[in-house]
């Protein structure tokens, strides 16, 4: 879910990209944003911030693709892998009309807007903090506020822009910590005591456990109100009623994918898992389900709080915007209206065919492998 010079796939040593994704380079020859495909279907090209789609993160998109929800809504959804080398690809390609909807982190979104890339969030995927801190099992740290003066391991020095705002939110001066750039071994640095903590995120915890890393966590959603990755579109499109209606239909499909998952998590995991051939080589079904459940719970943040799926919280954004301005990550103080709108989110939540998604989920037949998997106790979204 996160941009850097090192992709998550590289960090987890998952191997080469699968054929399920188009390359970022192939975007140059892709059809127009609102070109027709498959008869009367309108194409919406969604671009990931990752250099791969071979992760469980995008289950909310794979489900409506495989269950036909996007097609029924008149949409041909193209899921596209982003660029490993260009952290701003998920916003630049949208602004350049080479993609229609990106999935940038708050840092990339705000720095893009600050630099003149005219995009805006229409959907906050988590409506809260996706990032966590991993600690050695024997660590005496029990609160994130105790990270002041400690060593924090990162996969890349570029991740500093992620952690700095988190520390400021906690009342910690970022200059008081020592960042340890450990490359692909950044989580091992925490597990072996070479760092006091390491940056982690929801969806990664289960994968690290599957690799045998013994860590405990400070879960970001329990103490941070900052936003996470969003679905952003060209700001100019939000002045066009036809384009707003198209994006609203796309978000209706996303909601159906989330409601399907809420009703039958194992079915959603199976659909996603079977859509990603490379992922099947590295994750067992139970581990894939566990990874998805971490994210699914986080994706349900605003839904659980009664605001529907994908709500952008003004207070969290306002605090984040001030912090990144004070840190110099943006040159000017952006207003919340510069960064997001909840107009499409509200419309999509009202119109989505939730009953059909729930009914389909309950009727879904699991295969032998996923029939053996278990949903952790207390899961909700």
User: Residues 6 or more apart from 130 whose CB is under 8 A from it?
Assistant: 1, 201, 202, 220, 221, 228, 229, 298
Q: In this predicted structure, what is the pLDDT of residue 210?
A: 78
* Distance, CA of 172 to CA of 151 (rounded, Å): 13
User: Residues 6 or more apart from 270 whose CB is under 8 A from it?
Assistant: 285, 366, 367, 369, 370
Tokens of 178: 């020592």
Residue 123, helix vs strand vs coil = strand
Average pLDDT over residues 13-25: 33
Taken in order 161, 165, 167, 171, is the CA torsion positive or negative? positive
Q: Looking at 61-65, 105-109, 271-275, 313-317, which range is the least confident one?
A: 105-109
Name all domains of the chain by residue range, CATH numbers in brackets: 8-127+228-371 (3.40.190.10), 131-222 (3.40.190.10)
Tokens of 87: 């952290």
The whole-model pTM stands at: 0.85
- Whether 50 has a pLDDT exceeding 50, the answer reads yes
Residue 142, helix vs strand vs coil = coil
Cα–Cα separations (whole angstroms), residue 84 to 5, 113, 121, 339: 6, 20, 22, 24
- The number of helices, as runs of H, and strands, as runs of E, in the chain is 17, 11
Average pLDDT over residues 187-193: 95
How far, in whole angstroms, is CA 271 from its chain's centroid?
Answer: 18
Phi, psi of 338 (to 5 degrees): -70, -25
């Amino acid at each position: 879910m996160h941009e850097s010079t090192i992709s998550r796939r590289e960090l987890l040593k998952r191997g080469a990209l699968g054929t399920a994704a188009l390359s970022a380079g192939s975007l140059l020859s892709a059809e127009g944003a609102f070109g027709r495909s498959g008869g009367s279907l309108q194409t919406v090209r969604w671009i990931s911030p990752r250099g791969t789609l071979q992760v469980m993160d995008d289950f909310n998109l794979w489900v409506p693709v495989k269950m036909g929800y996007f097609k029924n809504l008149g949409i041909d959804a193209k899921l596209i892998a982003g660029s490993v080398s260009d952290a701003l690809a998920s916003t630049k390609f949208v602004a350049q009309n080479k993609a229609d909807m990106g999935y940038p982190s708050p840092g990339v979104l705000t720095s893009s807007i600050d630099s003149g890339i005219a995009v805006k969030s229409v959907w906050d995927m988590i409506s809260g903090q996706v990032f966590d801190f991993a600690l050695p099992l024997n660590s005496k740290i029990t609160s994130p506020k105790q990270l002041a003066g400690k060593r924090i391991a990162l996969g890349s020095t570029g991740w500093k822009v992620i952690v700095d705002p988190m520390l400021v939110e906690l009342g910690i001066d970022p200059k008081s910590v020592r960042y340890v750039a450990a490359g692909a071994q950044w989580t091992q640095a925490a597990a072996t005591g070479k760092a006091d903590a390491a940056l982690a995120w929801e969806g990664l915890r289960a994968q690290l456990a599957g690799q045998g890393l013994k860590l405990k966590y400070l879960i970001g959603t329990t103490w941070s109100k900052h936003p996470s990755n969003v679905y952003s579109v060209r700001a100019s499109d939000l002045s066009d009623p036809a384009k707003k209606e198209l994006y609203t239909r796309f978000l209706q499909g996303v909601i159906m994918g989330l409601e399907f998952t809420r009703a039958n998590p194992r079915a959603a995991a199976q659909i996603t898992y079977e859509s990603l051939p490379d992922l099947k080589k590295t994750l067992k079904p139970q581990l894939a389900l566990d990874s998805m459940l971490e994210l699914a719970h986080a994706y349900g943040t605003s839904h659980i709080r009664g605001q529907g799926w994908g709500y952008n919280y003004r207070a969290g954004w306002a605090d984040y915007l001030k912090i990144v301005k004070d840190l110099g990550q943006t040159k000017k103080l952006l207003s919340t209206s510069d960064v997001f709108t909840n107009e499409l989110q509200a419309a999509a939540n009202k119109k989505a065919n939730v009953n059909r998604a729930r009914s389909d989920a309950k009727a879904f037949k699991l295969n032998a492998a996923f029939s053996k998997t278990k949903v952790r106790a207390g899961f909700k979204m």
